Each structure stands twice: as structure tokens, then as C-alpha cells.
Amino acid sequence: MAIVLALTLMVLRAPDPKRSAELSGMAQAFGYSLTSIGPFAIGALHDWSGDWEVPLAALLAVTLPLLVAGVAAGRARFLSVP
């Protein structure tokens, strides 16, 4: 659900289709690179701790920064790519 919201916000925050494509390309390149670390990190935490408490706590801890980013992304304004 978060990926659908993120892709929608890129389109809604761009003033025109060209800027939307630029913003989408930049955000997706960074986002997919960053999120590819997630499954490895959660698996490593599981292997290290031996159970699911630590990985689930880590996922819970990540929700606060996601909330802050979501509130910032939801502001009613246009973004531009330099």
C-alpha cells in the first residue's frame, strides 16, 4: 500500500508530466536502492537474535520516520526537480 501512495504522491506533487517523470525517476532510483537492504537486514536481525522480536521491533521503530515523511509528503504543494 505504501508504494501505491508514494507513486501517487509523485504524480500529484509535480506541476507537469515532465517534472513528474523526473521526480519519479529520481525517487524510484533512490527508493528501490534503499529498500533492497530491508529484507537482508531483517533476515540478519532474525539470524542474530534467534527469534522475531528484534526484527519486528526494528520494523516498528521505522514506522515513526515513515510517518514523518508521509506527513511531509502529503502537504499541498508542488515539488520541482532542479
pLDDT in tens, 4-62: 887 888 888 888 888 888 888 888 888 888 889 999 999 999 999 999 999 999 999 99
- Report the pLDDT value the prediction gives residue 33, as an integer from 0 to 100: 86
pLDDT at 81 > cutoff 70: no
- Report the pLDDT value the prediction gives residue 32, as an integer from 0 to 100: 85
- Report the pLDDT value the prediction gives residue 11, as an integer from 0 to 100: 83
Interatomic CA distance for residues 46 and 54, integer angstroms: 7
Interatomic CA distance for residues 63 and 61, integer angstroms: 5
Q: Which region, left, alpha or beta, applies to residue 50 given φ > 0 means left and ψ of -120 to 50 means alpha?
A: left
What pTM value is reported for the model? 0.66
- Report the pLDDT value the prediction gives residue 27, as an integer from 0 to 100: 84
- Report the pLDDT value the prediction gives residue 80, as an integer from 0 to 100: 62
